[in-house]
Amino acid sequence: MDGLRMPGTKVFGAALAVALLGTACLKTEEFPTAPQITFKSYVQSPDSATLTISFTDGDGDIGLDQGDTLAPFNPGSQWYHNFFVDQYKKVNGSWVLQQFALPLYYRIPVITPTGQNKALQGDITVEISPQVLPPPLPGDTTRFSVRIADRALHESNTVYTDDIIQH
């Protein structure tokens, strides 16, 4: 499966394949119907950054097709995207949400498995281009929050990256 490409970002479909492989086992996994996520990694490189979360979903309704553009998934609605990343900057000891002209929101492609057991478990990796983020100053401390939503509009918990200190 090819990754979904958006200006300045990538959602890696290959990482989503891990979820499909986990459903092929005979043992039936049971997870809550609302997605649950955990922070896995944030890796900064000179030309981009990758942010990875692990997830579970009991009914497997993660992802949107390109054609999913009718309400509630219509452009401009809060549910057009289903992977939400926000950046926070530490200012005087408090975390302040950073506002951007274009939000760091993505559309995860449909990954619902075939067969009876729809439970999903896997990793999702997003590539963040430095062009979408303001240049950090040395000593700045930032972090990202992540949450996802499934097609039934169940929102996951919110997870945070570790503190990122600019050098």
Which pLDDT does position 26 carry in this prediction? 52
SS3 52: strand
Give the residues across from 109 on adjacent strands: none
Which pLDDT does position 152 carry in this prediction? 96
pLDDT digits (tens), the chain, 167 positions = 333 334 444 555 434 444 444 444 456 678 999 999 999 999 988 788 999 999 999 999 999 999 999 999 999 999 999 999 999 999 999 999 998 877 899 999 998 888 888 899 999 999 987 777 777 777 889 999 999 999 999 999 999 999 998 87
φ/ψ of 136, rounded to 5, equals -75, 155
Closest-CA residue to 157 (of 39, 6, 7): 39
Q: Determine the structural domain holding residue 111 and report its residue range.
A: 4-165
- Please, what is the end-to-end C-alpha distance for the chain in angstroms? 36
Check: CB of residue 75 under 8 Å from CB of residue 156: no
Cα–Cα distance between 162 and 75 in angstroms, integer?
32
The number of domains in the chain is 1
Check: CB of residue 13 under 8 Å from CB of residue 124: no
Block residue for tokens 């039936």: 28
CATH number at residue 135: 2.60.40
Check: CB of residue 162 under 8 Å from CB of residue 143: yes
Tell me the residue length of the chain: 167
Q: Is the dihedral of CA 35, 81, 5, 113 positive or negative?
A: positive
pTM of the model as a whole: 0.82
